[in-house]
Amino acid sequence: MNHYIGVDLGGTNLRAAIVDSDTGQIYHQRKCPTLAAEGQESVIRRIVELIKELTNANDVTDYPIQGIGIGVPGTPDIDSGVIQFLPNLPGQWLNVPLRAIMEEQVQLPVALINDVRAITLGEWMFGAGRGVDNLVCLAIGTGIGGGVVVNGQFHLGIGGTAGEFGHHVVEVDGLPCGCGGKGCLELYASGPAIAAMGVKEVMHGHTTRIGELVDHDLNRIDAEIIVQAAKAGDPIANGILQRVGMYLGIAVGNILGVISPQRVIFGGGVSRAGDLLLAPILQTVKERVHVIPLAEVDFVLAELGINGGLLGAALWAKRKCEGW
């Protein structure tokens, strides 16, 4: 057995677990609030505390923990272990040598990876991507990230940056993005983008259940509320998801033309909309993509839920430690 700790650094919660990297079995899962507004030192301290809780709880004494993988919502350099930028987390997360800091604190090998690349690895090995050699994964949440497997190889590109699907340009000369570009997919299809569309509809006085669901408190409108209203048959909410699906379909169509995967996996909180989102995505893809045999491409939802990132982070640690 090979045991590694997988850590998921989320905007709301920190989660960690011991993972059997051979079977995907998860042991002793722990979580705590990220409290990112308190600053990076505080967040790092809580990660260390979670890891120490797990090492103390490890009752499989014959199989010691061999390393730690940390999935982060930004751009870590996978070779140097330095976090270059975390766009969706408060604080000064610029050029933070997280791997070196963590290894000094926990005395175990540490590997960093983007959180959605971790999800991709987890889904490929133990989830919706099992059995295929070419796939892409998109996670739609606070941001939009992705990951790629090509010819049976987990493709990472320069410094682990392959899969930044949220920064596909879907509107030429569109809205400015935090990445420095314009018209990026994240601005039109992420959770905050969906919430903003809902707020706009309510503020314009349109008849919709969106406002009713939050007692007309605009601050409570989020993507989950939009999905809830859409599932109840609200035409305004359905229209929002149709528009979001169109933009996602444009991006997916571009990806299909470049990679020609056997499977496209959709994860992240927004994917819980299910067919309400998948249907307009597939409609747009079918309208726009004519050089790829779409009948041979599976479009599926992720299977591992919130555990995908933990599994993938642990598998990444194994890869860095053992070189598989």
- The confidence score (pLDDT) of residue 59 equals 65
% the chain with pLDDT above 70: 98
131-301 is classed CATH 3.40.50.10540: no
Q: DSSP states of 215-280 as a string?
A: TT-GGG--HHHHHHHHHTT-HHHHHHHHHHHHHHHHHHHHHHHHH--SEEEEESGGGGGTHHHHHH
Taking 90 as the threshold, does the pLDDT of residue 289 lie above it?
Answer: yes
Domain chopping of the chain, boundaries: 3-121+306-322, 131-301
Residue 192 predicted with pLDDT over 70: yes
Q: 10 Å Cβ neighbour count for 38?
A: 14
Q: Which CATH number fits domain 3-121+306-322: 3.40.630.30, 3.30.420.40, 3.40.50.2300, 3.40.50.300?
A: 3.30.420.40
Whole-prediction pTM: 0.93
| Domains 3-121+306-322 and 131-301 fall in the same CATH topology | yes
Q: What is the pLDDT of residues 18-32, one digit of tens each?
A: 999 999 999 889 999
pLDDT (tens digit per residue) in 203-237: 998 889 999 999 999 999 999 999 999 999 999 99
State the average pLDDT over residues 135-160. Answer: 94
- Cβ partners under 8 Å of residue 305, min gap 6: none
Task: Please give the order of strands across the beta sheet that includes 263-267.
Answer: 153-155, 144-150, 135-140, 263-267, 298-301
Host H or E run for residue 179: none
For 22-37, the three-class secondary structure string (H helix, E strand, C coil) is CCCCEEEEEEEECCHH
pLDDT of residue 129 exceeding 60, the answer is: yes
Burial of 110 (0-12, 13-18, 19+ CB in 10 A): buried
Say which residue, 55 or 254, is predicted with more confidence.
Answer: 254
At how many degrees (to 10) do helices 98-106 and 40-57 cross? Answer: 40
The strand pair at 76-77 and 13-20 is best described as: unpaired
